[in-house]
Amino acid sequence: MKVSLEVEIIGDIRLIREAGVEMMPAMAMEGKILHQGRTPNVQEAIAILEKALAEAASGT
């Protein structure tokens, strides 16, 4: 992937709950939960991010 992303690890349970996360670990981008409940492997994480970036670019 040829994009620059800032990764933030959030451990504050209050912020996690406010974000709507129900199961940990979770991935989110721009306030939208992308994945939760288990750690994705590298290929899965790339696919999740590519889908989210495509959706963001198309405005959906």
Give residue 3's pLDDT: 80
Give residue 47's pLDDT: 96
Residue range(s) defining the domain that contains residue 32: 13-58
Is position 1 within any domain? no
SS3 (DSSP) at 55: helix
Is position 3 within any domain? no
Is position 41 within any domain? yes
Give residue 39's pLDDT: 96
Is position 2 within any domain? no
**How crowded is residue 26: how many other Cβ atoms within 10 Å of its Cβ?**
18
Give residue 59's pLDDT: 83
- In angstroms, the CA 46 to CA 6 distance is 15
pTM: 0.80
Give residue 4's pLDDT: 87
Give residue 1's pLDDT: 65
Per-residue pLDDT of 24-52, as tens digits, reads 999 999 999 999 999 999 999 999 999 99
